[in-house]
Structure 1
Amino acid sequence: MDGPAPPAHGAILDALRAHLGTGALRPEAARRAALIRLRDALEASEPDLLAALHADLGKPAVEAWASEIMLVRQELAVALRKLRGWMAPRRVGVRWFQLPGRASVVAEPRGVALILGPWNYPAQLCLMPLVSAVAAGCAVVLKPSELAPATADAIARLIERAFDPDHVRCVTGGPEVARALTVLPFDHVFFTGSTGIGRQVAEAAAKNLATVTLELGGVNPCIVDASADPAVTARRIAWGKFLNAGQTCLAPNHVWVEESSFDALTAALRDTLTRFYGPDGRGMQRIVNARQFTRLRDMLDAGRVLHGGMADEAALHIPPTILADADPALRREEIFGPILPVIPYRELDAVLAEIAAAPPPLAVYVHTRDRALADRVTAATRSGGVCVNDTLVQATVPELPFGGVGASGQGRYHGRAGFDAFSDQRAIFRQPAGVDPPMRYPPIKAPLSLLKRLMG
């Protein structure tokens, strides 16, 4: 992401850094007041945001509120409740020869942070990291996705309502704006998006020695064994997969089902999808844009359609689709849309070997009544998280750190993990001025054998 930074963006960074340098954002009272203003502005902006989310993504109001605004409200409530404890110095023990000194760890703001948001959950995935950054005492430049323009404008209005412009600034625009921002010397960069762009962001941040949090994608596998109830499992998988038209980084990408349960599970999925979204699937929202629609439409020919399979280019709509006999390539790429390959398996070891050989995903899902099997899947795979007998819900638990591993991301946020992501852990050691034990000063007269016994 190389290129010259326009002076305007550099001036914004300078103004935020100057304000940060005054110390005005450090006190707990200042952070708490800013979080309260954000909470109040979010509540006042709800109608604006819901209208924007419908305009950009076709999201129904209930789904938009539950998957975007509610989670931000929850994050704000946790931060306001726990902020004092997060900020409190943490005492650590010292050895006898360091006495009477005392040691502690203090969380301090990383500095000025850049948050780059995605288009699929354009409000939630901009505002949740913003909560963490404000709680940590950072100044922030927030860049929403240009692929959700109405929501970007609504967020800009919300930020103006909630913050002093020298504390948090919202900058809108296309990829050229993102490129210009990433070359600036921010102290921390928080990016949510594709793995390819994430690499570019990390490279740009590395040139400034900035720390990064990368929330990327992943091919999230889902395993269903014969002990799982088909009806319950189908409901949970269908909800997690087809929420937001499958445009969710945590959505199950494909389902491995024990061969004896293949027919029962696919029949339950078809029935569930008809109840959820109607026989034509029109109850599910549309795809974000023509480029994504074309990419997904081409996948419809990669297997035998068991449900759905139509494509309405004018409406950018593909109904929830179940594929059997799918091309194995669909197990190696992130589908990121309303297409779910279902693959029968006989030997779980072969499934686990394929998952282990692939880049680690954001999540591994397993549906089973056998706890030992769930533990086996967990032990044999590597991922940002594991969810047993459900989907997506792990990301809604405020105190569970959220993030990926390797190609699916680095760093964690949500709750305390988010506060830590935007904080530096500063080591503090205090020794009384009037106490000065002589044993450490040269010439050291004690033999090495004695020092080893005393200090080893």
Structure 2
Amino acid sequence: MTETDTALKNNQLVNKQKAYFQTGATKSAEFRIAQLKKLYNAIVKNEEKIINALKADLNKSDFEAYSTEIGFTLKEITEAIKNVKKWMKPKRVKTPITHIGTKSKIFREPYGVTLIISPWNYPFQLTMTPLVGAIIGGNTAIIKPSELTPSTSSVIRSILNDTFEEEYISVIEGGVDTSTNLLQQKFDLIFFTGSVQVGKIVMEAASKHLTPLILELGGKSPTIVNDDANLKVTAKRIIWGKFTNAGQTCIAPDYIYVHENVKDELMKALKEEVIHFYGNKPLENSQYTKIVSEKHFNRLVSFLKDGKLEHGGGFDQVSHKIEPTILSDITWESNCMSEEIFGPILPIISYRRINEVIEEINKHPKPLALYVFTENSSLANQIIERVPFGGGCVNDTLYHMATPYLPFGGVGESGTGNYHGEYSFNAFTHDKSVLIQTTKIDLKIRYHTTKNALRFIRKLLK
């Protein structure tokens, strides 16, 4: 198929979905709930296929595949089924005295035809969770999964194309050319998860049609360990958060700032937890995730030369696995600090004063996540108030993403917009403001023709 033929086919699909959306079929609560139930059942039915695909693409263990991909998605769906009717209800808001006799309401209106471009690191969950948002918002969706995880993309296409009609939800597989062509179409909303670099391309394409968009990007998410932290628990939660999915997580702890008083003790605890989680020979651990591609593998291997190797450092070119690695003697001039690591390499920097840490973090782009380990709530609040970031945890890592009651998203270079739970509903709908006016009374002071109208207006608008 030529590029022209592909463009024509994509354009026809977008127009087909636009026509279907205009029928109003997607808008009722009953329809939305029915589609969510169909999606839930399809995922449960194909659970083994999904797990096998994630194993083939990333060597994900059954535990990681279910807990971070399948189970996460199913929980998001059940939460939506329980609450979507409540979320859809128009919201009554106050009216000022100048609007006596009126009612003010906010209606949640679907955008229409949405485009969801998903990444490779959590290829199932980060496709399905935005899709849940599109469904509960009353939209249609065209989905472009990642070409770097072809087995999972194929399963996604099979599940969704077998479950839904293409005028409602459709999957288009392909590489960069496919994404480029889709971005040339006129959508009503674009939801993109991926790198900052590609996010800029998506934003530029969206600007040509003034298309609203949500960008879930990344960045260098810091972890701060104060000298009063519970180091045993701290080490376990950092290692879990950093090396889940071999560090290929947008909100993984990217680097650690540890108080110099407890640096050695923390280092020892971190090494113990790496062995506890992955054994003495992690490259031979069948449950340990691999790096998605040779390009990313080679980029990560180049970082192993930085600083002082404290633990790990081994890698296997054939399996694309890199040992969980800890580096010390790192500065902001080190190569691994020049970009988001997105892999199983953990740099450690020591600090003496927290103000120095805050100032240094704030010199760089706003991170997607931040984690602080301390028993001092005032210190934690000081960091939260002074450092801009998308979201994070005190005395934990990653866990804020797993609750549907907190919005997930970035700020600045780490993204724009947020989702999960009700926030997914908000992300895929527009606030339509409506003032319902009475005809039983008519305030004459609103008209300039009324005597002394300005005097009354001055009093009312003070």
> Shorter chain as normaliser: what TM range?
over 0.9
AA partner of residue 123 (structure 2)? P
Matched, 1:346 2:352: yes
TM alignment of 1:428-443, pairs within 5 A: 428-443=434-449
Pairing 1:296–2:295 present: no
Following superposition, the deviation at residue 74 of structure 1 comes to: 1.1
Tell me the matched-pair count: 454
Post-superposition offset of 1:327: 4.7
Contact 1:220 1:364 in 2 (8 A): yes
Partner of 2:195: 194
Once residues 158 and 12 of structure 1 are traced to their aligned partners in structure 2, the CA distance between those partners, rounded to angstroms, is 19
Deviation at 1:440, TM superposition (A): 2.8
Q: Is 1:359 the equivalent of 2:360? A: no
Deviation at 1:379, TM superposition (A): 1.6
Q: 1:81 is paired with a residue of what secondary structure? A: helix
For 1:435 and 1:81, locate their aligned partners in 2 and report how far apart those are by CA, in whole Å. Answer: 41
SS of 1:364's partner is strand
Unaligned 5+ segments in structure 2 are none
Residue 42 (structure 1) shift? 1.1
User: Could you say which residue in structure 2 is the equivalent of 1:407?
Assistant: 413
The whole-number CA distance in structure 2 between the counterparts of 1:277 and 1:101 is 64
How far 1:311 sits from its partner (Å)? 1.5
AA partner of residue 318 (structure 2): A
The 8 Å contact of residues 241 and 252 in structure 1, kept in 2 or not, is answered as yes
Distance 1:64 1:78 in 2: 20
Partner in structure 2 of residue 374 of structure 1: 380
Unaligned 5+ runs, structure 1? none
Give the equivalent residue in structure 2 for 1:453.
459
2:37 matches 1:31:
no
Query: Which amino acid letter does the alignment assign opposite residue 191 of structure 2?
Result: F
SS of the residue 1:315 aligns to: coil
1:34-91 residue CA offsets vs partner (Å, 9 max, x unmatched): 1111111111111111000000000011111101011111111111111011100001
Kept after mapping to 2: 8 A contact 1:302/1:327: no
Q: Which residue of 2 aligns with 1:307?
A: 311
Matches within 5 A, 1:135-146: 135-146=136-147
Aligned mates of 1:384, 1:83 — CA distance in 2:
25
Deviates more, 1:437-446 or 1:119-128: 437-446
Equivalent-residue separation in structure 2 for 1:331 and 1:367 (angstroms): 21
Q: Is contact 1:240-1:252 (8 Å) kept?
A: yes
Q: Which residue of 1 aligns with 2:45?
A: 44
Q: Verify the 8 A CA contact 1:362 1:384 in the aligned structure 2.
A: yes
Q: Is the 8 A contact 2:445 2:456 kept in 1?
A: no
Question: Normalization by structure 2: what TM-score?
Answer: 0.96
- 2:105 maps to 104
Corresponding residue SS for 1:85 = helix
Asked if structure 2 preserves the Cα contact closer than 8 Å seen for 1:403 and 1:409, the reply is: yes
Q: CA deviation at 1:218?
A: 0.8
Q: Which residue of 2 aligns with 1:285?
A: 289
What's the CA shift string for 1:102-152, capped at 9, x where partnerless? 110000101100000000000000000000110000000011000000000
Q: Which amino acid aligns with 2:404?
A: P
TM-score (norm 1): 0.97
- Code of the residue aligned with 1:342 in structure 2: it is I
Q: Is the contact between residue 404 and residue 411 of structure 1 (CA under 8 Å) also seen in structure 2?
A: yes
The residue aligned with 2:175 is 174
Q: Distance in 2 between matches of 1:372 and 1:93?
A: 36
Contact 2:58 2:290 in 1 (8 A): yes
* Contact map agreement 1:332 1:358 (CA 8 A) in 2: no
User: Which letter does structure 1 place at the counterpart of 2:437?
Assistant: Q
Contact 1:306–1:321 (Cα < 8 Å) also in 2: yes
1 CA distance for matches of 2:123 and 2:397? 21
2:444 and 2:450 in contact (8 A); partners too: no
Counterpart amino acid of residue 290 in structure 2:
R
Identity rate, percent: 39
Distance 2:277 2:98 in 1: 67
In structure 2, give the amino acid aligned to 1:290.
E
CA distance in 2 between counterparts of 1:342 and 1:442 reads 69
Once the two structures are TM-superposed, the CA of residue 162 in structure 1 deviates from its matched residue by 2.4
Question: Does 267-276 or 327-336 show the bigger shift?
Answer: 327-336
Q: How far 1:444 moved relative to its partner?
A: 2.0
Does 2:93 align with 1:92?
yes
Q: Whole-Å Cα distance in 1 between the matches of residues 314 and 461 of structure 2?
A: 73
Tell me the distance in 2 between the aligned counterparts of 1:358 and 1:198.
18
User: Alpha carbon RMSD of aligned pairs, Å?
Assistant: 1.3
| Paired residues of 2:186 and 2:209 also in contact (CA < 8 A) | yes
Shift of the 99–447 alpha-carbon distance from structure 1 to 2, 3 Å rule, reads closer
In 2, the alpha carbon distance for the partners of 1:219 and 1:381 equals 13
Aligned to 1:129: 130
Of 319, 324, 329, the residue aligned with 1:320 is 324
Distance in 2 of aligned mates of 1:435 and 1:375: 51
Partners of 1:101 and 1:447 in 2: CA distance: 20
Does structure 2 conserve the Cα–Cα contact (< 8 Å) formed by 1:273 and 1:281? no
Does the CA-based 8 Å contact 1:280-1:308 persist in structure 2? no
What is the deviation of 1:455? 4.3
